[in-house]
Amino acid sequence: MARSKIALIGAGQIGGTLALLAGLKELGDVVLFDAAEGVPQGKALDIAELAPLEGFDARILGANSYDAIEGADVVMVTAGVPRKQGMSRDDLLAINLRVMEQVGAGIGKYAPDAFVICITNPLDAMVWALQRWSGLPPHRVVGMAGVLDGARLRYFLAEEFDVSVEDVTAFVLGGHGAAMVPLMRYCTVGGIPVPDLVRMGWTSEERLAAMVERTRDGGAEIVTLLRTGAAFYAPAAAAIAMAESHLKDKKRLMPAAVYLSGEYGLKDIYVGVPAVIGARGVERVVEVDLDRAERAMFEKSVAAVETLVDACLKIAPGLG
Ligand code: APR
């Protein structure tokens, strides 16, 4: 069986880590594309030289022209400017929107059959613009946010309960970061819902609320610590999990920013919801019942995404 081809648009911190993880997991051959000359080639060569040590077989190449991504099965997009200290996700909008225009054109021309995972922030708006500019069907263009937010929450819960991260599941909806909506009744430890663990005295509502806040601010916490950079290990691993579910047709049910056409009463917008990701891309959008408080939080989150999309439309009216 021929190896899959994975194209990475953006060979920065996340892009390089994506290439490394894709190699280590033997997901396929990798093309690292970047506007900066030498960077994708240098990172690709470094990872290719690591392959004999880790024992994986994959071609890892760097490129500065879009034709290198031709026929890619998966495209992961990190091109753009990352958030710096003091910069909100919204500040990034104008710069990264222009980048999505170029990237969308490149994917539409050279990898129209790919499954596309957008990582560039502000995520919920960028993935929407990328789908439009690429012309690919919406079920094959998704955004990575919930898997990362969920992983952060899982880590905090596992620390709190002193149990394996493997046994903790987290359920998040809505936009990325500040707009995230956690549904605690669907977060579990070994199948036991977290609200039951509160009743059992494992933690308190206050401590849970603090963990949710820390998850919402997860990106900013790391930006503050690093001073000159943003998170990249966990974001890359989250996107790789989504790519793997598609490439291996695992049909994992994971939170993803997906295009909604009527689900949750929403149309023509990308919002984080649980989705089954398989060989066909987004194979199913899962609609869970929301209680009044959850619905209110979800609506607030959707309103934040709509504001971003409106801001995009002001900058690029052609997107409408
Ligand atoms: N075309 C191709 N590559 C581009 C373009 C473009 N138009 N504009 C910028 N890039 C490249 C940069 O040269 C850089 O190598 O995108 C890369 C971005 O890498 P980093 O600056 O290291 O950013 P990273 O930490 O990888 O984050 C990328 O993901 O989580 C989001 O907020 C984050 O939007 C940011 C993105």
CATH value of 146-311 in 2.160.20.10, 3.90.105.10, 3.90.110.10, 2.60.40.10: 3.90.110.10
Distance, CA of 13 to chain centre: 15
ipTM (interface pTM)? 0.99
Ligand 1 binding pocket includes 104 (Cβ within 6 Å):
no
Contact 230, 222 (CB under 8 A): yes
Other CB atoms within 10 Å distance of the CB of residue 4: 19
In this structure, the residue with its CA closest to atom 8 of ligand 1 is: 80
Phi, psi of 89 (to 5 degrees): -60, -35
Q: Would you kindly state where each structural domain of the chain is located, as residue ranges?
A: 5-143, 146-311
- Which is catalytic among the residues 43, 139, 140, 176? 176
Ligand 1 binding pocket includes 82 (Cβ within 6 Å):
yes
Ligand 1 binding pocket includes 12 (Cβ within 6 Å):
yes
The Cα-based distances of 25 to 50, 57, 145, 237, 241 in angstroms read: 13, 10, 21, 11, 10
In this structure, the residue with its CA closest to atom 13 of ligand 1 is: 36
> What are 204-250's pLDDT values in tens digits?
999 999 999 999 999 999 999 998 888 999 999 999 999 999 999 99
In whole angstroms, give the CA distance from residue 93 to residue 99. Answer: 10
Q: Choose the residue to mutate in 78, 110, 117, 130 for probing ligand 1, maximizing ligand atoms within 8 Å of C-beta.
A: 78
In this structure, the residue with its CA closest to atom 9 of ligand 1 is: 80
Q: Could you confirm whether 176 is annotated as catalytic?
A: yes
Residue for token digits 């790789």?
240
Contact 259, 247 (CB under 8 A): no
pTM above 0.80, yes or no: yes
The pLDDT profile of the chain, 320 residues, written as one tens digit per residue, is 799 999 999 999 999 999 999 999 999 999 999 999 999 999 999 999 999 999 999 999 999 999 999 999 999 999 998 766 676 666 788 899 999 999 999 999 999 999 999 999 999 999 999 999 999 999 999 999 999 999 999 999 999 999 999 999 999 999 887 788 999 999 999 999 999 999 999 999 999 999 999 999 999 999 999 988 889 999 999 999 999 999 999 999 999 999 999 999 999 999 999 999 999 999 999 999 999 999 999 999 999 999 999 999 998 888 88
In this structure, the residue with its CA closest to atom 28 of ligand 1 is: 78
83 assigned ligand-binding residue: yes
34 assigned ligand-binding residue: yes
Q: Which two tokens stand for residue 194?
A: 């977290």
In whole angstroms, give the CA distance from residue 127 to residue 139. Answer: 12
146 burial class (0-12, 13-18, 19+ CB within 10 angstroms)? buried
Ligand 1 binding pocket includes 223 (Cβ within 6 Å):
no
Ligand 1 binding pocket includes 232 (Cβ within 6 Å):
yes
Residue for token digits 């539409």?
108
Instruction: Give distance in angstroms: CA of 81 to centre of ligand 1.
Output: 5
Distance, CA of 45 to chain centre: 26
Q: Where are the beta strands (DSSP E) in the chain?
A: 5-9, 29-33, 60-63, 74-77, 115-118, 141-143, 168-169, 172-174, 180-182, 188-189, 192-193, 252-261, 267-278, 281-285
Q: Looking at the structure, give the CATH architecture of the domain made up of residues 5-143.
A: 3-Layer(aba) Sandwich (3.40)
In whole angstroms, give the CA distance from residue 313 to residue 320. Answer: 6
